[in-house]
Amino acid sequence: MANRSKLVFSLLLLPLLLTTISAQTTKLAPNFYRTTCPNVESIVRSAVRQKFQQTFVTAPATLRLFFHDCFVRGCDASVLLASANGNNEKDHPDDISLAGDGFDTVIKAKAAVDSNPQCRNKVSCADILALATREVVQLTGGPFYTVELGRRDGRISTKAGVQRQLPHPNFNLDQLNTMFARHGLSQTDMIALSGAHTIGFAHCGKFSKRIFNFTPRNPVDPTLNFQYAMQLRQMCPRNVDPRIAINMDPNTPRTFDNVYYKNLQRGMGLFTSDQVLFSDRRSRNTVNLFASSNGAFNQAFVAAMTKLGRVGVLTGNRGEIRRDCTRQN
């Protein structure tokens, strides 16, 4: 009798157990919203294009926002959460320079999605950020790629959580590889994702040491093209407002292309972490490949972005679908 009771209890528990396992192992899929919000991609595309027409900064700001979100607690839109006490991810020194236009792009796209009665409160801010990122890459001349969907929004966002989670401009190759490997990203992925700097901009304070006081013997970093260093000194003179920003790709700053890698071959990587990709022999061949073939770069970038988009995602019954991207429900 006791055994029969156990069997009945087990059978009653089985559906609950299977539901829990299913909810926790739900995988991302491109057609995740096919029944709940079938037009989500076109709605986000339209909103992002409208924002992009207002300001080009939409593109680099959104792309950087996605990267910063995924590298801290995974791609869960936790970077978007605001706090009254200034203690969230976006308040950390590494995130304070994230341009407001990136946040505004996601908020506007979310509003557009939720204005459709069928879609209201069905699509996560994390997925909207991922879709918006794909749009800005394509709008600036980069590849169109399939975005996997089904992420849910995180409920946790802390300033402390950002500490030592994001690459710094002075990183060497080993530091870059170690940080990216933590998220299952290879050296090739890291080099391809660095190519996002093709439409990036940087504040003078982030590289001033390379052009003014690298070492007592070499005021200018010897891996930096000297003529380029002199141009940088003119754009970012000593004691300039450190918030002044300049283009990371001085040649085609508004086009998503492989010129970033051609610049590295000429010693024109703005950050140490850019130039090291060419100056270190272990990564130089990949830089040369991407410099010689925009197609090879695009292919590697899409593969790396797909892997990045899977980092630490919340699916199934974990997390939530935020009604307002800047606050928990």
Give, rounded to a whole angstrom, the gap between the first and last alpha carbons of the chain: 47
Q: What is the mean pLDDT of residues 92-111?
A: 94
Which of these is catalytic: 68, 92, 168, 203? 68
Nearest 5 degrees, angle CA 172-CA 279-CA 164? 15
**Cβ atoms 271, 169 nearer than 8 A:** yes
Whether 68 sits among the annotated catalytic residues: the reply is yes
| Binding annotation | 69, 72, 74, 76, 78, 89, 167, 197-198, 249, 252, 257
| Binding annotation for Ca(2+) | 69, 72, 74, 76, 78, 89, 198, 249, 252, 257
pLDDT, tens digit (0-9, with 9 covering 90-100), for 66-91 = 999 999 999 999 999 998 889 999 99
Count of all residues that appear for the chain in the document:
329
Q: What is the mean pLDDT of residues 37-60?
A: 98
| Binding annotation for heme b | 197
Nearest 5 degrees, angle CA 149-CA 197-CA 304? 35
The answer to whether residue 14 scores a pLDDT higher than 70 is: no
The answer to whether residue 167 scores a pLDDT higher than 70 is: yes
The answer to whether residue 32 scores a pLDDT higher than 60 is: yes
Query: In whole angstroms, how far apart are CA 290 and each of 84, 197, 277, 286, 301?
Result: 44, 14, 12, 6, 10
pLDDT, tens digit (0-9, with 9 covering 90-100), for 302-321 = 999 999 999 999 999 999 99
Q: Are strands 201-203 and 245-247 parallel, antiparallel or unpaired?
A: antiparallel
- What span, in angstroms and rounded, lies between the C-alpha atoms of 121 and 36? 10
